[in-house]
Structure 1
Amino acid sequence: MKRNFLCLFLLSGLLLALSSCDKYLDINKNPNNPDQVEAALLLAPIEVNYALGVQVDARVIGRYVQNWQSYLAGDTWDLHGYASASDVGGELWRNVYFKAGRNLINLIDDARANQKWDYLGVGLVMKAWGWQMLTDIHGEIILSEAFDQDPQKNQFNYDTQQAAYAEVVRLLNEAIPYLNRADGRVSQTQLARGDIMYAGDRLKWKRFAYGLLAINAHHLSPKSGYDPNKVIAYVDSAFTSNADNALMPFNGNSTADASFFGPTRQNLQVYGQSDFMLRLLDGRIFTNVKDPRLSQLLVASGDGVYRGLVPGGGQSTAASIPATARVLSPWATPLNSIPAAGTTGKYVFTDKGPFPMMTYSQLQFIKAEAAFFKGDKATALAAYRNGISAHLTYAGVSTADQATYLANAVVLPAAGSLTLNQIMLQKYIAQWGWGFLEQWSDLRRYNYSAEIFTGFQLPQTFATVNNGKPAQRLRPRYNSEYVWNIDALAKIGGLELDYHTKPVWFSQP
């Protein structure tokens, strides 16, 4: 009996040991750091980091496109240069590859495996959106080898911008059918758990996808294969009003959850509104027409007069120019000064935002330009009017002031008198303060033409490294590419000091 008991005891001990060993070796099942995360927990951080990536890089792109200029005279970014050996201008690169990166792949994998077709559709749109933004500002990007898992790989080769554009279209065409599905585990309530931009509304995401297709196709306007009919069709399948605007909200309670553009984060105090934007609104470019958005968007100096900075000119601090006659920050605070507690800001420059990522007015101007190319002036005028009206409403202009502004033939001419520069200038106004990437795409499509962008003047002197040429792209992120991926950079000319002046593919015939 004792012998039987001893055998049973030893056998039980062996089984327990094997079981414990199995649990001990199962090192990836850490409840505090799980190796598998559901899609709902991954989406929100990716959305926010896309918005933050645009905002952070806007500090430099905004100077290229003259939304604002530095308070310092001779600022290198004002002069279309760059900061060498620095990650400045590389935030979106970091966010698409690292903060989204594998997290977005895991989101898509989880959604596909668990029939969350809504999350799958959104994930594919997010992937396309990241590539679109990244290639538009950097040109060639790492696409096919971006997430290669080979531990021995130490060089990641670049793909052409043409390949990136094709991949964006492929992803969006794959995404839209999933966003149409209502079977499986599709649920607006569940999608809303992770979706802070559209609160789980699949229809709005589908319209957003068509908006991206429109942007992608329209950027190819300099090329012989450009199809304005396709662009118009995409826009018509996209946003129907301001209610569809893609807006990124922020809690705005602290530096941890406030908009990067809000006064709490203290990131814009060295930038003053540009003279170009001021001239668009004060009647110097749209002759004798004072735009009712002037006070909604821009900031008057202490004496009540609106002023703007020119590229490279900086803000004079001479004693002959009193503080009340100086340009202020977007929060109406002195330049190069920390905003006081209680500063609120206005328009997109508040702690809570929201920050626009795509709008109905933006897409209507794209349709207007496409229709203009097509020769359909009536459609172009209707879309142009829709774009202006929608932005006037978004900017908080009263109904009466909107009517007065739109009744002026300088702003809204007859269909036969509508000009391309009117479309592009009104689009620029509607995107001021947020649509930096699209503004820069427009300027490069027209090679910074002062005939199209009336009154736009490039710096009188470019940064030395430019060799007399304007910026056409941002250099890849320094600490990932110029430190670790030099051989791949060399293949595309990325080591040249004036690489940032090399025209991008979409802007070429």
Structure 2
Amino acid sequence: MKKIFYICFASGLLLLASCDNGFEELNKDPNAVTADRFNPAYLFTTGQYNTAKGDESNSLNYAEPFVQHMASLSNVGIFDFQGDKYVYHKGNNEQLWKATYNAVSGSSKLIEDVITLAKDKPQYHNLYHMARIWKTVIFHRLTDMYGDIPYFEANQGYYKQIYKPKYDAQKDIYANMLSELEDATAKLDAGQTVFASPDIVYAGNIAKWKRFGYSMMLRLGMRMSKVDPAAAEAWVKKAYAGGVFSSVDDNLFIKGTDKAGTQEVLTNGQSWTLAVSGRSPGKIAKTFFDYMKSHNDPRLKYTVAVYTDPTNVATKKTDPAVQKGMPNGLDRITLPSSPSYDPNVPGQEHQFSGVNRDVFAKLDGPRMLLTYGEVQFMLAEAAVRGWITGDAAQFYRNGVTGAMKTLAQYDVSATIPDADITAYLTAFPFVGVADKEKAFEQINSEYWVATFLNGYESFANVRRSGYPKLVPVNYPDNETGGTYPRRLRYPDDEPVLNADNYNESVARQGADNYKTHVWWDK
């Protein structure tokens, strides 16, 4: 930094003491970005958006087929759903990590800048606490997918010259995230500046942000139900008492901005749309399709479709009677041996149902991050466990209703009539609390349906709850030996660029492979 020194002479004598007025201001770098010269709210918008855009290949190509929402015949290529066969693809395996930590556009870097620039600045009171809450959205997904990760020292290269951050134990990360949620949510203040324009989720609505904060606390609390039930119960109670999502209007989602598709081939920001609307994308998994069809689920005709001509959306058929799901773990050689395969239908994969493009492949459509339906299912499980007061059956009904009504936020054409929802709940009522394990299975199976296309959350909850009971695949040369995956591998360059901290993490957590369990999944 250039420093300008003014030395004053009076009567031939050096009078330094009399010349310090204004010295500090003159010695400030005019090009430095500081909180008093730059509004961190500008970074907040991009941080929110980048949380949901640019990481799709990790969720869609790995987590979605892991939970058997999706299936594919291929095991190579950028949009070919390697999670279907538990095989390794460097780019898709690393995408969430790279999108999170990118030094320029990474969601965690942008939000960390907001936190640093807004801290202790009264004019940014709510922005600071909103950013702290949003940070938990970013990091809980990352740690749930990889396990121990850089957290406390992450994004501190500029601020503290930490270029090789240590990997923190997931247990410590969770403890901090929950503490941050508790403090930040409580300190949000509707009486101060609300930052409506920069907030592309809730437009600065503090009441909604508070419900969001406590709903995140509920999610993280429930995540610990296996490893630390006492702590899980305590956090779930705090979240419930604080006030969680009260309707689908509280749903947390990020919408795309490229309605016309003009930037589709220029950026990675809309790759989700490309992946679900191309000629040969992943198909609906047989496990997922059969569950919905066996329940006569009214969502089925809006969720999936068969395109007899994959280049023409007008050929779409939504009648469940003419649809079928693709078995997981098959390729173009082994598919003909499956009872699901019809050799009389042209196009191997195109005889199977795919994502309904009119609903889920809109360029300006939403990516769901946390929904009212999920929250109600978590409360239903908490009530079954005796952690909170309230009617588990009503929470369950609210969860099903919320999950079904959420489809309309993707597209109005997917609005499910109330009568159909009532009929579903009548045909499949809550099983009751007498048999807790049956209740957990029913609740979490519906949670699995509700988190369709939110692979991060669905994969985490399947590992936590054990439901639905998915049969693993055993494709040749897969990463798990035919056992169910528990995490993803760290990026290939980590053992080189951050060797000591990487090695310490592996020694603590376990081998860097798809079989090692994360802390809360013990």
TM-score by length of 1: 0.79
Alignment CA distance shift 1:126-1:377 (3 Å)? closer
Instruction: Describe the SS at the equivalent of 1:493.
Output: helix
Q: Which runs of 5+ in 1 are unaligned?
A: 1-21, 284-288, 332-344
Instruction: Describe the SS at the equivalent of 1:128.
Output: helix
- The answer for the alignment partner of 2:410 in structure 1 is none
- The answer for the alignment partner of 1:326 in structure 2 is 351
- The answer for the alignment partner of 1:131 in structure 2 is 139
Deviations 1:220-268 (A, max 9, x none): 1113425446425514611000111112112222253874432599679
Query: Displacement of 1:28 after TM fit?
Result: 5.1
Alignment CA distance shift 1:227-1:330 (3 Å)? closer
The one-letter code of the counterpart of 1:361 is G
Alignment CA distance shift 1:173-1:224 (3 Å)? closer
Query: Displacement of 1:44 after TM fit?
Result: 1.1
The 5 Å alignment of 1:216-365 reads 216-222=220-226, 223-228=228-233, 230-235=235-240, 237-251=243-257, 252-254=259-261, 256=263, 259-263=270-274, 269-283=280-294, 289-300=295-306, 302=308, 305-314=322-331, 316=335, 320-323=343-346, 326-331=351-356, 345-365=357-377
For the Cα contact (< 8 Å) 1:156–1:488, is it kept in 2?
yes
% identical aligned pairs: 21
For the Cα contact (< 8 Å) 2:64–2:83, is it kept in 1?
no
- The answer for the alignment partner of 1:488 in structure 2 is 501
Instruction: Describe the SS at the equivalent of 1:89.
Output: helix
Tell me, in whole angstroms, the C-alpha distance in 2 between the residues paired with 1:217 and 1:472: 19
For the Cα contact (< 8 Å) 1:261–1:350, is it kept in 2?
no
Query: Displacement of 1:160 after TM fit?
Result: 0.4
The one-letter code of the counterpart of 1:279 is D
The one-letter code of the counterpart of 2:361 is F
For the Cα contact (< 8 Å) 2:431–2:442, is it kept in 1?
no
Aligned length: 453
- The answer for the alignment partner of 2:43 in structure 1 is 42
Tell me, in whole angstroms, the C-alpha distance in 2 between the residues paired with 1:130 and 1:384: 28
Instruction: Describe the SS at the equivalent of 1:198.
Output: coil
Alignment CA distance shift 1:351-1:274 (3 Å)? same
Query: Displacement of 1:117 after TM fit?
Result: 1.3
Matching of residue 211 in structure 1 with residue 212 in structure 2: no
- The answer for the alignment partner of 2:461 in structure 1 is 442
The one-letter code of the counterpart of 1:220 is M
Instruction: Describe the SS at the equivalent of 2:355.
Output: coil
Tell me, in whole angstroms, the C-alpha distance in 2 between the residues paired with 1:274 and 1:411: 25
Tell me, in whole angstroms, the C-alpha distance in 1 between the residues paired with 2:491 and 2:175: 23
Q: Which runs of 5+ in 2 are unaligned?
A: 1-23, 309-316, 408-414
The 5 Å alignment of 1:404-423 reads 404-408=423-427, 410-413=428-431, 419-423=439-443
Matching of residue 95 in structure 1 with residue 99 in structure 2: yes
Tell me, in whole angstroms, the C-alpha distance in 2 between the residues paired with 1:347 and 1:94: 29
- Partner residue of 1:64 out of 63, 66, 88: 66
- The answer for the alignment partner of 1:336 in structure 2 is none
The one-letter code of the counterpart of 2:149 is I
The one-letter code of the counterpart of 2:453 is G
Deviations 1:107-131 (A, max 9, x none): 1233332432111111111122222
Tell me, in whole angstroms, the C-alpha distance in 1 between the residues paired with 2:137 and 2:145: 13
Query: Displacement of 1:411 after TM fit?
Result: 4.1
Instruction: Describe the SS at the equivalent of 1:247.
Output: strand
- Partner residue of 2:453 out of 406, 411, 433: 433
- The answer for the alignment partner of 2:483 in structure 1 is 469
Deviations 1:382-441 (A, max 9, x none): 101100011222222112212221221x3444665762211111111111122x222112
Deviations 1:32-58 (A, max 9, x none): x99953122111111111112553321
Query: Displacement of 1:367 after TM fit?
Result: 0.7
Deviations 1:155-175 (A, max 9, x none): 332110001101101211221
User: 355-364 vs 375-384, which deviates more?
Assistant: 375-384
Instruction: Describe the SS at the equivalent of 2:218.
Output: helix
The one-letter code of the counterpart of 2:330 is G
- Partner residue of 1:373 out of 376, 385, 388: 385
- The answer for the alignment partner of 2:165 in structure 1 is 156
Query: Displacement of 1:277 after TM fit?
Result: 0.9
Tell me, in whole angstroms, the C-alpha distance in 1 between the residues paired with 2:468 and 2:325: 17
Matching of residue 187 in structure 1 with residue 193 in structure 2: yes
The one-letter code of the counterpart of 1:433 is L
- The answer for the alignment partner of 1:453 in structure 2 is 468
Tell me, in whole angstroms, the C-alpha distance in 1 between the residues paired with 2:358 and 2:247: 22
The one-letter code of the counterpart of 1:440 is F
Instruction: Describe the SS at the equivalent of 1:292.
Output: coil
Tell me, in whole angstroms, the C-alpha distance in 2 between the residues paired with 1:295 and 1:438: 23
For the Cα contact (< 8 Å) 2:384–2:433, is it kept in 1?
no
- The answer for the alignment partner of 1:172 in structure 2 is 181
For the Cα contact (< 8 Å) 1:57–1:88, is it kept in 2?
yes
Alignment CA distance shift 1:492-1:321 (3 Å)? farther
For the Cα contact (< 8 Å) 2:108–2:138, is it kept in 1?
no
For the Cα contact (< 8 Å) 2:54–2:270, is it kept in 1?
no
Deviations 1:69-116 (A, max 9, x none): 223269752222322xx2323233223323134432331233332432
The 5 Å alignment of 1:14-33 reads 29=31
Instruction: Describe the SS at the equivalent of 1:192.
Output: coil
Instruction: Describe the SS at the equivalent of 1:499.
Output: coil
Instruction: Describe the SS at the equivalent of 1:355.
Output: strand
For the Cα contact (< 8 Å) 1:259–1:265, is it kept in 2?
no
- Partner residue of 1:79 out of 85, 90, 98: 85
The one-letter code of the counterpart of 2:263 is A
Alignment CA distance shift 1:26-1:154 (3 Å)? closer
For the Cα contact (< 8 Å) 2:306–2:323, is it kept in 1?
yes
Alignment CA distance shift 1:29-1:217 (3 Å)? same
